[in-house]
Each structure stands twice: as structure tokens, then as C-alpha cells.
Structure 1
Amino acid sequence: MTQTRTRSTFAPPVMEARRWLEGVSFPDDRPLINVSQAAPVDPPHPDLRRAMAGAALENDAAHLYGPVLGLPDLRAELAGQISRHYHGHVTAEQVAITSGCNQAFAAAISALTTQGDEVILPTPWYFNHKMWLDMAGVQSVALPTDAGLLPDPARAEALITPRTRAIALVTPNNPGGVEYPADLVRDFHDLAAQHGLRLLLDETYRDFDSREGAPHPLFSLPDWDRVLVHLYSFSKAYRLTGHRVGALATDPALLAEVEKFLDTVAICPNQIGQHAALWGMRHLQGWLAGERAEILDRRAAISDAMPALRAQGWELLGLGAYFAYLAHPFDMPSDELARRLVPEAGVLLLPGTMFMPEGDAAGKRQVRVAFANLDRAGIELLFGRLANLPFS
């Protein structure tokens, strides 16, 4: 079989996990608990849906091609929000709107790399980043993290070669949940600047960071856009996953290269989704604060429920945003465990093997729980099932 771009990488992990459900029935007294995907299942706020309907009915331009880099008003609104939140200075010309944050990453990689280049990814990594690098012909250079799932800049520096083009970080992290300290993010920025690299900083989950205020100082640095490529998503904040609206902030010269990719792949971002994101940013900040508080409470519920799992040998490696990252105690690899959990416990989660290089021993002991769609009662039920597994 001919090797192609898509055959160079693995099957989409969430789709693979869903196939484990085929042929399995779940009794009424033990329904499936699905913690496999980090996406809200509830629809957007009713007022936001009404605004979307209004745009569809009353704004003829919303049904036509729009600017490749996104609606000017949305670019300006996001630039202003970033400037306020991070105490920096960002202009609309430094912002592009994309068809989701995954496309923002793909566009940035396409603008920064060519065949055979390298990008450093901390492990456990976000699998879609790894998949795109594979399909782009770019080598993913694994950077193992420490016991707290934090990457080490010194260790990253040792991995830099003449083919290295960027370092990619995700904070709050997917899959680990950990929030990278501000000093650590700054150290990676300085490392990238010293070596003429770009720092790709994916902050898809920044709206659910437990810290108040700016989580890092990068936007306040002079000429921040010469090193930083900032990635963001409206999907989680405003429940717009199906409308595919993300963003990228960096220097206008790089955005001119990004525009070539975006124009070729999608021509323009989803128009209705962009109007929704703009309306949400202008009208739903109070509601979003409540959503954040609820996620933080669910995070606290994970901490409250951990003693029962620790007693069975589980470890909590990382916790934050939508994720709990756990080490299991069983004498089997995590991919086998994850498959067995479906029929034997009514739980669908992702194994650590999906976030690690093939054969990595650490991934075989780890699992990811995406808990954002479980309330406290659901979290207690999940942890009760995990604490009472019949495995040894």
C-alpha cells in the first residue's frame, strides 16, 4: 500500500474510542459515563442562539464568503480582550480567525515549516497536534515532562537541532490539565527567542484557568509577536464546537503566510459562528464567569473524590480545565484497560497510549478523564466505578 500523508499517522483517537461502544449495551441502572472527549454537550446560551438566528435571518452577508482572516469586528474584539486580560497591546492586524483551534495550529505549522523540519512537543501531547505534524511531514520531537507533567526548558534546549522550527505548549494542558506557571512560559519564550524559534502557545482552555488575571506575561513584552504564536478557541467558552471558530495571534507578516493556507483550505471561517463568537464576547462575560466557576467546582470534586481511588493504587498526575490525568494500578496497558472499562464498568475514557510516542512505558499506565460534562454527582459515580473495578 502506498504511503500517503494520512497513512503516516494514526486513526483519530476519539473516533477510535467511540467504536469500542459498538455492540455494547448499557443497562438502565448503569448507563454509560462518557469522559472521552473534551467538548461541552449542552447547546449555546439561549440568547446566543437567538443572536445566531438573527444573523442568519437578517444579515445577508453572513451567508457569503467573508474575509479570509475573519470578520474585522471579531478580530478587533478579540485583540481588545487579549490586551485587557494579559495587560498587553494586541491589534486587530495581529489576529486571525480560523475554523477552530486545530486549524489555527495547522495553519501556523504550514506557515513555519517544510518537509523534514522539527517541532518540539511535550509529552503527553495533544494527539491532533501530533497527527498534523505527521501529515505535514514534520518530525515531532518528544519532550518528556516531569512528575508534575511540566516540561523543562533545559531539557527542551538539548533537543534543538538546525531543523527545529518551533516549540508547542498547551496550557491549561490537554491531556494533563496542568496550568503552566507564568515563569515557565516565560522561560520557554526566552528559549525560543534565543534560538530563533517560534513558541506556539495553545490556550484553548484559558477561560477555565483557576488563576485570576493574566496567566503569563508574554503579551506585555515588546515585539511579543516576533516569537509568540498564540492559539485560542471559542468552542469551549461559548459552546460553539459545531460552528468551528478559533483564533491565532502573531505578527502580521506571519499572518500573511497563514492567509495562504486558510484561503486554500476553507476560504473563510464559518460566518454564523463568527457572529456568535462576537456576540458572546460582548454580552456573555458574566455567564462565562459562571461557567468557569462550575468547571472549577467540578475540578474540586475530583480532588474530593481522589482518596477512594488512591486507596486502590491510583495516582492523580494532573488536574485542571476539563481534564484529570491519572495513573492506574493494574497489570495491563492502559489501552487494554480502556477497552475493558466499556463493557465491565460502563466508562469510556482515553488511554495514555493515545497521548504518547508508540511504545512509551509511561503512557501504558495513564488515562485521561475529560470531566467537564459531569456534575459532582456524576464525578462521584465515575470514581465509585473506578474504585471498585474487579481487575488485579
Structure 2
Amino acid sequence: MSAFNPRHKIATRTRLSEVRYEIRGELARRARELEAQGRKLIKLNIGNPGAFGFRAPEPLQRAIADHIHRTDPYTHQQGLPEAREAIAAFHQRRGTPNAVPERVFIGNGVSELIDIALRALLNPGEEVLVPSPDYPLWSAATILNDGRPVYYRLDRDNGFLPDPEQIESLISSRTRAIVLINPNNPTGASYPRELLEQIVEIARRYRLLLLVDEIYDGILYDDAVFQPVAPLAGDLPCLSFGGLSKVHRACGWRVGWAVLSGDPLACGDYHHALDLLGALRLCANVPGQFAIEQALHGGDTISALTAPGGRLYETRRALIEACRASEHLALVPPAGALYGFPRVVGPAAQGFDDHDFALEMLEQEHVLIVPGTSFNVPYRDHFRVTLLPEADQLREVFIRIDRVLSRRAEAAQARSAVA
């Protein structure tokens, strides 16, 4: 037997080379290096309310504290019975068909449940229709579960709304599911009922599972209205995702849930697969589950933040005004969620590369943003910022962004003059 070579590299899974997650990737690692050097950064890459001074509502904190003595044992793999009852009751009020505790799955955040949902569904080479731009975990989880993401466009000229005809044109014999993110991350689009009804009908015709990420369901601005998909789907199998991370500002508690609706006979095997995979990881974080009932059936704590004068609303207003005032930026105003997705336009867009721009913003202006290509789009002229900082801080960020874009525009015009 030959001696072990300590410099021999351990091979990693090949499909990891296809996965992108720049939200916490190379730029974020560079940001940590700069912070270690003593630089103070404004980090707008992650929708993490607690990092910007938000706190989970006090009644939710108290619910965990009051039940901490019950949190030592494992619970059922699908979650605490009383927590699943609270989620089922919430969905019953929405009109979700067959919303019963037995069809509720609680996980360590929606992220874990997305992975489980796709692992339970996909055979090698099968396809999932995913929006472009998407939240990149959807693409990553599809790839890592041996599936293939097939992207349907969210067209900025149509308010980043999907086109049902284009979705239908992408369906093949290998298609298993359609992913909807509503309100959308990163664009902030909120989908109208009529559009969702058309997509549901497509899923019904082709017998596709609907995977509906509704984690931002309560974060809406102005006259935007949230329309849940499950009530429209009726007996069509639909898996609806929600959690405490965003609306209830409790990301670190890692509490998410998925509700499987539709015809019980059609969903039976899939239900058992979800249950098996949940059992293999034993159970989700227990303490946070005691906050679910208070979160879903207690007082509304998000509307004051998203109404005029509220912190999220005023930061969104600052984003809209900054983009409107800039000759280098265009924006589809977000109707919901926690993000803006501006586009670079005009001379500054000539030869523009979103990753290079994000690196320049980090190195020279000490601001961390996410390149638009991180969200699986074919164009390179967008970037994403979160709406979580105070409005004045976001205004300062866009002063710095405009400064960099002005330099780029001047350089582009100088090149044109020489040519």
C-alpha cells in the first residue's frame, strides 16, 4: 500500500460546479477580509432583518421562553402538533383545500424544506420550471438533487411578471413542477390573481406540481395585494412555503413550513416521501416552533413597517427616489418583499459587467451588493440591494453607486469620442 500523500486533494461532487450562490459567495468572503482589515462596510447582500436592528416581535420571544422547558426532546418529524395545527388553521382561513395538520411539514427554515421537496420529487434528468431571475437556492437545490432547472423569463418591461405562454412552451415530457416565488425575490413583483389562475391551469393540464415560495406574503407596499396559490389550485397538488424569517424578522430561529394541498390520493406517495426525508433528519429546531401560533394568530406586526411612515416603506421610497434621480439607473418599483433590483442604463451600461461593478463598489465604496447574474439571468446590467437599512443609509449608498456609475459613463463617452 502506498503512503498517504497529505497534499492529495479530496475530490468534491462534480455538480457543485454548476451551483451559484453569490449572496454568500466570493464577494461576501472578500467583504469579511476587508472587515478584518478594519474597514467599515455597508452590507446589502442578505435579507437578514436582525443584522439591521430589527427584532422578532416580543410576544414571539415570550412564547419560546414560556415553553423552553419542553424543548429538550425530539418532536415528531413533521413538527410539534400544536404548531402544525396553527399553520393548518392559518391556511384554512386562506381557503387552502385539505389544510390539515397531517399535511403540514415544519423545517429548519424554508431552505431545508425546498431541498427536501425537490429530493422527494426528482429522478435524474427531470426538469423544474424556475423563474429567471430566481432566488438561487431553487436552482441549486434542483441541480444538487440531480434535476435540471429550466428558466422562464420575468420580463422587466412587463413589471417582472411571468408570461404563461412562455411557461407552457418550455414544458417537456421531463417536466415535473413549476416554481413560483410570490412576492418575488429579487424583483419585488406581486402576482395578480388572473395571472396565477392561468399558471395553475397550465399546471393542471400537464399534471405538474406547484412549488410556491410565499415567504414574503405579508410584506406588501401601497395597494399591492397578496394572492395565495393553493386556494386557486383546488385539488391540484401544491406545496406552499412560509416561515418566520421575513414577515416576523426571526431568520436565526430557522423556522419554516410547507403545506401540501390538493387531492389526497394524488399527493399520497409524495406525502410519504416528504415524511420519510423529514424523519431522516429527525426533526426541525424545536424552540422556534413554539412561536408559530403567536406569529400566525397574534397581532399584525408587519403592516406598520410597510405602510407610509414605516421603516421599510420609507427605505423603499428612498430607493425609488434615488433611482428616479439618477441618469444611470432604472427601477421597477418593488410591490413587495425586501429588495430592489435596479438596472444600469445609458453610457454607464456600455461594457457593463455586474460582478466587476459589485467588486468595485466593495473595494472602493465599501458597499456590498449582489450582482444580478447571481439570480440566474442571462443579462449583466442589474444588481440587488436589500431594503432593510434606514432610509438615510440607503440614500448614502446610492450616492456612492451614482459616483461609480458616473465615472464609468464618463469613461465610456471618452472612448466613444476617440473612436
**One fold, TM greater than 0.5?**
yes
Does 1:327 pair with 2:343? yes
Q: Which of these residues, 96, 121, 125, is aligned with residue 112 of structure 1?
A: 121
Q: Shift in Å at residue 194 of structure 1?
A: 0.5
Equivalent in the alignment of 1:152: 163
Going from structure 1 to structure 2, the CA distance change for 1:339 and 1:20 (only over 3 Å counts) comes to same
Does 1:338 pair with 2:358? yes
Q: Which of these residues, 375, 393, 399, is aligned with residue 355 of structure 1?
A: 375
Q: Which of these residues, 58, 61, 69, is aligned with residue 46 of structure 1?
A: 58
Once the two structures are overlaid, the 10-residue window that deviates more, 226-235 or 14-23, is 14-23
Instruction: Tell me, in whole angstroms, the C-alpha distance in 2 between the residues paired with 1:218 and 1:22.
Output: 39
Q: Is the 8 A contact 1:182 1:216 kept in 2?
A: yes
- Structure 1 segment 149-298 matched on structure 2, within 5 A: 149-210=160-221, 215-216=226-227, 218-221=229-232, 224-251=234-261, 253=268, 254-264=270-280, 266-283=281-298, 285-293=299-307, 294=310, 295-298=312-315
Residue by residue over 1:304-353, the C-alpha shift from the partner in whole angstroms, topping out at 9 and shown as x without a partner, is 332222x2x21113523101001124332101100110121221010011
SS in 1 for 2:123: coil
Instruction: Tell me, in whole angstroms, the C-alpha distance in 2 between the residues paired with 1:123 and 1:202.
Output: 14
Instruction: Tell me, in whole angstroms, the C-alpha distance in 2 between the residues paired with 1:247 and 1:225.
Output: 20
Equivalent in the alignment of 2:414: none
Q: How many residues align?
A: 378
Q: Shift in Å at residue 6 of structure 1?
A: 5.4
Q: Is the 8 A contact 2:133 2:376 kept in 1?
A: yes
Instruction: Tell me, in whole angstroms, the C-alpha distance in 2 between the residues paired with 1:318 and 1:165.
Output: 32
Q: Which of these residues, 312, 320, 323, is aligned with residue 306 of structure 1?
A: 323
Q: Which of these residues, 377, 384, 388, is aligned with residue 368 of structure 1?
A: 384
- Structure 1's consecutive aligned runs of 4 or more residues displaced over 4 angstroms after TM superposition are 25-28, 86-89, 211-214
Q: Is the 8 A contact 1:186 1:217 kept in 2?
A: no
Equivalent in the alignment of 1:391: 408
Q: Is the 8 A contact 2:94 2:228 kept in 1?
A: no
Going from structure 1 to structure 2, the CA distance change for 1:130 and 1:218 (only over 3 Å counts) comes to closer
Instruction: Tell me, in whole angstroms, the C-alpha distance in 2 between the residues paired with 1:217 and 1:272.
Output: 28
Structure 2: where are the runs of 5+ without partners? Answer: 1-9, 410-419
Equivalent in the alignment of 1:128: 137
Q: Is the 8 A contact 1:35 1:348 kept in 2?
A: yes
Going from structure 1 to structure 2, the CA distance change for 1:230 and 1:176 (only over 3 Å counts) comes to same
Q: Which of these residues, 76, 79, 103, is aligned with residue 112 of structure 2?
A: 103
Going from structure 1 to structure 2, the CA distance change for 1:288 and 1:162 (only over 3 Å counts) comes to same
Does 1:94 pair with 2:103? yes
Q: Shift in Å at residue 366 of structure 1?
A: 0.8
Pair member with larger Rg: 2
With normalisation by structure 2, the TM-score equals 0.83
Instruction: Tell me, in whole angstroms, the C-alpha distance in 2 between the residues paired with 1:214 and 1:93.
Output: 29
Instruction: Tell me, in whole angstroms, the C-alpha distance in 2 between the residues paired with 1:34 and 1:183.
Output: 37
Q: Is the 8 A contact 1:5 1:134 kept in 2?
A: no
Q: Is the 8 A contact 1:87 1:214 kept in 2?
A: no
Instruction: Tell me, in whole angstroms, the C-alpha distance in 2 between the residues paired with 1:303 and 1:213.
Output: 16
SS in 1 for 2:211: strand
SS in 2 for 1:388: helix
Going from structure 1 to structure 2, the CA distance change for 1:224 and 1:87 (only over 3 Å counts) comes to closer
Q: Is the 8 A contact 2:188 2:337 kept in 1?
A: yes
Going from structure 1 to structure 2, the CA distance change for 1:15 and 1:220 (only over 3 Å counts) comes to closer
Structure 1: where are the runs of 5+ without partners? Answer: none
Residue by residue over 1:12-45, the C-alpha shift from the partner in whole angstroms, topping out at 9 and shown as x without a partner, is 32221211214436999x9422110012123323
Going from structure 1 to structure 2, the CA distance change for 1:225 and 1:38 (only over 3 Å counts) comes to farther
Instruction: Tell me, in whole angstroms, the C-alpha distance in 2 between the residues paired with 1:11 and 1:391.
Output: 27
SS in 2 for 1:302: helix
Instruction: Tell me, in whole angstroms, the C-alpha distance in 2 between the residues paired with 1:349 and 1:240.
Output: 22
Once the two structures are overlaid, the 10-residue window that deviates more, 341-350 or 322-331, is 322-331
Letter in 2 for 1:21: A
Instruction: Tell me, in whole angstroms, the C-alpha distance in 1 between the residues paired with 2:305 and 2:73.
Output: 33
Please tell me the root mean square deviation across aligned C-alpha atoms, in Å.
2.5
Equivalent in the alignment of 2:6: none
Going from structure 1 to structure 2, the CA distance change for 1:216 and 1:238 (only over 3 Å counts) comes to closer
Instruction: Tell me, in whole angstroms, the C-alpha distance in 1 between the residues paired with 2:37 and 2:402.
Output: 20
Once the two structures are overlaid, the 10-residue window that deviates more, 268-277 or 89-98, is 89-98
